[in-house]
Chains A and B, each alone.
Chain A
Amino acid sequence: MANVAVCVLGSFGYDRAAQGAVGAGRALAGSVGGEVHVLVIGPADEEAVAAMAAVADRVVLGANEELRDVQPEQALQAAEQLHAAGGGDYVAVLLSNDTYSQEIAPRLAHRLGGSSMADAAAIRMDGDHLLAQRTAYGGKAISIYRLKKSPAVVWLRARGFEPAPEQPSSGDVTSVDLNLDPPRIRIVGREVAAQEGVRLEDAPVIVSGGRGLGGPEPFHELGKLADTIGAEQGASRAACDAGWVPPNWQVGQTGKKVAPELYIAIAISGASQHLLGMGDSKVVAAINTDADAPIFKHCSFGIVEDYKAVVPLLTEKLAALSG
Chain B
Amino acid sequence: MKTLILIIVSAVFVNNFVLSRFLGICPFLGVSKRIKTAGGMSAAVIFVMTMASAATWLFYSHVLVRFHLEYLQTVTFILVIAALVQVVETVLLKMSPTLYRALGIYLPLITTNCAVLGVAVLNIQKQYNLIQTTVFGFGAAVGFGFAMMIFSGIRERMELCDTPVPLKGTAIGLVTAGLLSLAFMGFTGLVKQ
Decide if A and B are genuine partners. Answer: no
Using a CB–CB cutoff of 8 Å, the interface residues on chain A facing chain B are: none
